[in-house]
Amino acid sequence: MKAKYIIGIAIIVVFVIFGAVSFKKTLTPYVSFAEARKSGAMVQVIGETVFPEVKYDINTHQLQFPIMDERKDKMIVVYSGTKPANFEQAKQVVVIGKFENGVFVADQLLVKCPSKYQGKL
Protein backbone atom coordinates (compact mmCIF):
# COMPACT_ATOMS: atom_id res chain seq x y z
CA MET A 1 0.00 0.00 0.00
CA LYS A 2 2.83 2.43 0.78
CA ALA A 3 4.42 1.85 -2.63
CA LYS A 4 1.21 3.07 -4.35
CA TYR A 5 1.27 6.31 -2.34
CA ILE A 6 4.95 6.91 -3.07
CA ILE A 7 4.45 6.33 -6.80
CA GLY A 8 1.36 8.57 -6.80
CA ILE A 9 3.18 11.37 -4.99
CA ALA A 10 6.16 11.05 -7.34
CA ILE A 11 3.87 11.34 -10.39
CA ILE A 12 2.17 14.43 -8.93
CA VAL A 13 5.54 16.06 -8.20
CA VAL A 14 6.74 15.37 -11.75
CA PHE A 15 3.59 16.96 -13.22
CA VAL A 16 3.87 20.02 -10.95
CA ILE A 17 7.50 20.54 -11.96
CA PHE A 18 6.65 20.05 -15.64
CA GLY A 19 3.79 22.57 -15.34
CA ALA A 20 5.98 25.15 -13.60
CA VAL A 21 8.74 24.85 -16.21
CA SER A 22 6.22 25.10 -19.07
CA PHE A 23 4.58 28.16 -17.49
CA LYS A 24 7.92 29.90 -17.03
CA LYS A 25 8.74 29.40 -20.72
CA THR A 26 5.54 31.20 -21.75
CA LEU A 27 6.30 34.32 -19.73
CA THR A 28 7.63 37.26 -21.69
CA PRO A 29 9.19 39.85 -19.36
CA TYR A 30 9.22 43.63 -19.87
CA VAL A 31 12.80 44.81 -20.28
CA SER A 32 14.67 48.01 -21.12
CA PHE A 33 16.03 48.68 -24.60
CA ALA A 34 19.56 47.86 -23.40
CA GLU A 35 18.44 44.52 -21.96
CA ALA A 36 16.53 43.72 -25.17
CA ARG A 37 19.67 44.34 -27.22
CA LYS A 38 21.71 41.99 -25.01
CA SER A 39 19.10 39.25 -24.71
CA GLY A 40 18.55 36.73 -27.44
CA ALA A 41 15.23 35.68 -25.94
CA MET A 42 11.64 36.81 -26.49
CA VAL A 43 10.99 39.98 -24.50
CA GLN A 44 8.55 42.89 -24.32
CA VAL A 45 9.56 46.51 -24.61
CA ILE A 46 7.42 49.62 -24.45
CA GLY A 47 8.08 52.97 -26.06
CA GLU A 48 6.71 56.00 -27.88
CA THR A 49 6.38 55.73 -31.64
CA VAL A 50 8.41 58.26 -33.66
CA PHE A 51 5.77 58.92 -36.32
CA PRO A 52 7.78 60.93 -38.88
CA GLU A 53 10.00 57.87 -39.39
CA VAL A 54 7.27 55.20 -39.76
CA LYS A 55 7.46 53.16 -42.98
CA TYR A 56 4.84 50.64 -44.08
CA ASP A 57 5.18 48.51 -47.22
CA ILE A 58 1.70 47.53 -48.41
CA ASN A 59 3.01 44.76 -50.67
CA THR A 60 5.05 42.93 -48.04
CA HIS A 61 2.94 44.04 -45.03
CA GLN A 62 6.10 45.09 -43.24
CA LEU A 63 5.94 47.93 -40.74
CA GLN A 64 9.21 49.55 -39.72
CA PHE A 65 9.34 52.29 -37.12
CA PRO A 66 11.51 53.56 -34.28
CA ILE A 67 10.33 53.65 -30.70
CA MET A 68 11.82 55.84 -28.00
CA ASP A 69 12.00 55.13 -24.27
CA GLU A 70 11.86 57.63 -21.41
CA ARG A 71 15.65 58.14 -21.69
CA LYS A 72 15.24 59.18 -25.35
CA ASP A 73 17.00 55.99 -26.51
CA LYS A 74 15.74 54.89 -29.95
CA MET A 75 15.31 51.36 -31.24
CA ILE A 76 14.15 50.34 -34.72
CA VAL A 77 11.25 47.86 -34.74
CA VAL A 78 10.34 45.66 -37.71
CA TYR A 79 6.90 44.04 -37.65
CA SER A 80 5.62 41.75 -40.40
CA GLY A 81 1.86 41.83 -40.46
CA THR A 82 -1.07 44.11 -41.00
CA LYS A 83 -0.65 47.55 -39.47
CA PRO A 84 -3.14 48.01 -36.61
CA ALA A 85 -6.01 50.34 -37.54
CA ASN A 86 -5.39 52.67 -34.61
CA PHE A 87 -1.60 52.74 -34.93
CA GLU A 88 -1.49 56.46 -35.81
CA GLN A 89 -3.38 57.40 -32.62
CA ALA A 90 -1.14 55.36 -30.33
CA LYS A 91 0.80 57.18 -27.65
CA GLN A 92 2.85 54.08 -26.88
CA VAL A 93 3.32 50.61 -28.30
CA VAL A 94 4.35 47.36 -26.68
CA VAL A 95 6.40 45.17 -28.98
CA ILE A 96 6.99 41.49 -28.26
CA GLY A 97 9.85 39.80 -30.02
CA LYS A 98 13.63 39.71 -29.98
CA PHE A 99 16.58 41.81 -31.04
CA GLU A 100 18.27 40.47 -34.19
CA ASN A 101 20.81 41.98 -36.60
CA GLY A 102 20.55 45.51 -35.21
CA VAL A 103 16.73 45.73 -35.13
CA PHE A 104 13.98 44.53 -32.84
CA VAL A 105 11.96 41.94 -34.78
CA ALA A 106 8.44 42.02 -33.36
CA ASP A 107 6.12 39.02 -33.46
CA GLN A 108 3.32 40.95 -31.74
CA LEU A 109 2.42 44.61 -31.63
CA LEU A 110 0.14 45.99 -28.92
CA VAL A 111 -1.11 49.53 -29.40
CA LYS A 112 -1.64 51.70 -26.31
CA CYS A 113 -4.26 54.26 -27.27
CA PRO A 114 -5.45 56.35 -24.30
CA SER A 115 -8.12 58.25 -26.27
CA LYS A 116 -10.69 55.46 -25.96
CA TYR A 117 -10.33 55.51 -22.17
CA GLN A 118 -10.85 59.25 -21.77
CA GLY A 119 -14.27 60.70 -21.01
CA LYS A 120 -16.22 62.59 -23.65
CA LEU A 121 -15.93 66.38 -23.48
Among left, alpha and beta (phi > 0; psi -120 to 50; other), residue 88 is: alpha
CA nearest to 79, candidates 54, 101, 108: 108
- Each domain of the chain, given as residue ranges in start order, spans 29-117
pLDDT digits (tens, 9 = 90+) for 65-83: 999 988 888 999 999 988 8
pLDDT of 26 strictly over 70: no
Q: What is the pTM of this model?
A: 0.71
For residue range 84-120, list pLDDT tens digits in order: 888 888 888 999 999 998 899 999 998 887 655 555 5
Quick: pLDDT tens for 34-49.
888 888 788 899 999 9
Task: Give me the mean pLDDT over the 55-63 stretch.
Answer: 90
Q: Fold for domain 29-117?
A: OB fold (Dihydrolipoamide Acetyltransferase, E2P) (2.40.50)
